[in-house]
Amino acid sequence: MHAFDVLGDPVRRRILELLAEGEHASGEIVAVVQREFGITQSAVSQHLKVLRDSGFATVRVDGPRRLYAMDAAPLAEVDAWLERFRVFWTHRLDALATEVARGKKKRGE
């Protein structure tokens, strides 16, 4: 599955946001996603499977718990695709930084 297909789903993006904070037990992930999206435990498990199968997440067993962690390697594909577009926002961010600096200078900061 292509990285953008994986990231195109809001539930999977939310799970990745959780995993970006650190390792989480599957039960913790299910609780958050069920509360925010109102989907079943089985549906969350399917999303976790997609993330594992596509390389975005790893899982390890710790006694009765399954602990999920993010694997950022597939994000390199996204980063490579975005590279050609960075030129469009780099100049704007530089201009914003200049304006912020001018504002601070006027205020004497």
pTM above 0.75, yes or no: yes
Q: Which of 30, 72, 73, 22 is nearest to 49 (CA)?
A: 30
The parent domain of residue 11 ranges over: 3-108
Total domains present in the chain: 1
Question: Which residue matches tokens 């001018």?
Answer: 102
Say if CB 48 and CB 15 are below 8 A apart.
yes
Cα gap 87→70, rounded to integer Å: 28
- pLDDT by residue (tens digit) across 22-62? 999 999 999 999 999 999 999 999 999 999 999 999 999 99
Say if CB 74 and CB 55 are below 8 A apart.
yes
Q: Is 72 helix (H, G, I), strand (E, B) or coil?
A: coil
CATH number at residue 36: 1.10.10.10
Mean pLDDT of the chain: 92
Q: Is the pLDDT of residue 109 over 80?
A: no
